[in-house]
Amino acid sequence: MADLLSSLPDELIYHIFSFVPIKELVRTCVLSKRWQHIWASTPYLNFENIRYNNEVSASFINRFLSLYSSETIEKFSLRNITWFKRDDFKMDESATYMPWLQFAVDCGVKDLSVCACECQLPLLVHSCSSIVKLELYSLIIGPIGSISWPLLKSLTINCPVSWLSDDDIRKILIGSPKLEFLKLRSCKFINDIEVKSSSVRELVIDGFTSAKDCMHPPLEIYTPKLRVLRILGHVLMDVRLTNVSSVVEAEINFCHAENTTMTSEGGGGGGGGD
């Protein structure tokens, strides 16, 4: 019987690979003679749901990257890697992630997704000029010195452990001149979101957790050129909208603390959400 899988064009095989975690991808070599080698050049690297002990998890990823033969990476995903701690094996997780992210940056990664609980985002990512889409989960991001993401169009930050400040957000917006989509979820200590850029089309605020009993000032959103605004999840602070006249689509659907209000320039206040 002819090896039909081997006759597929590279582009189609890579597209199939883009949906498969690396751990499973390596096993596909048994399906086709040609796939025994092509998996090492896929531009989609999904290191997800890897659950070994510290030593095995790290060595698996290091081994794969040492065999990687392509010079470019379209997508690099590093998520849900569970470290089963052992008393006889100590590991600095931030230092372990560093060479993997350096590898992705050196290969001109365009789509980067990282979930690393309480690890510091390496400075090398702050100046990755190739990134078009960036998703950061559970990382420690701030304080930010400077950002250079000239091609970035989509940014998602979900960092409940991060001290991300108003100034950090401003630096991100200044360093991302082509940004179109910004989602901030569970980000603490942000008081003022000022989006003046004409490129940002959609802003999503999902679950700001700073409570009023912490004497947190209102969250002020200033977006004179925004088209789409979504405020979702648990928002435990007052929200003040300023100059949102350009918004043509809005979704306000959030749970709020008692006495939490939303006000807008030229309009009255009121509780929102569920």
Q: Which pLDDT band, with edges at 50, 70 and 90, does 106 fall under? A: very high
Q: Which residue is listed with tokens 């883009």? A: 18
Q: Where are the domains of the chain?
A: 48-264
- Cα torsion for 205, 207, 208, 213, to the nearest 10°? 150
* The pLDDT value given to residue 270: 41
With a CB cutoff of 8 Å and minimum separation 6, the contacts of 56 are none
- Other beta carbons within 10 angstroms of residue 90's beta carbon come to 8
Residue 89 scores a pLDDT above 60: no
CA angle 200, 204, 210 (to 5 degrees): 125
pLDDT, tens digit (0-9, with 9 covering 90-100), for 10-62: 888 888 888 888 877 777 767 777 777 788 889 999 987 766 555 557 788 88
pLDDT, tens digit (0-9, with 9 covering 90-100), for 119-164: 788 888 999 999 999 999 888 787 788 899 999 999 999 876 566 7
* The pLDDT value given to residue 39: 81
pLDDT, tens digit (0-9, with 9 covering 90-100), for 245-274: 888 998 887 665 555 556 666 443 344 444
Give the Cα separation of 47 and 43 in Å (integer).
13
Residue 202 scores a pLDDT above 90: yes
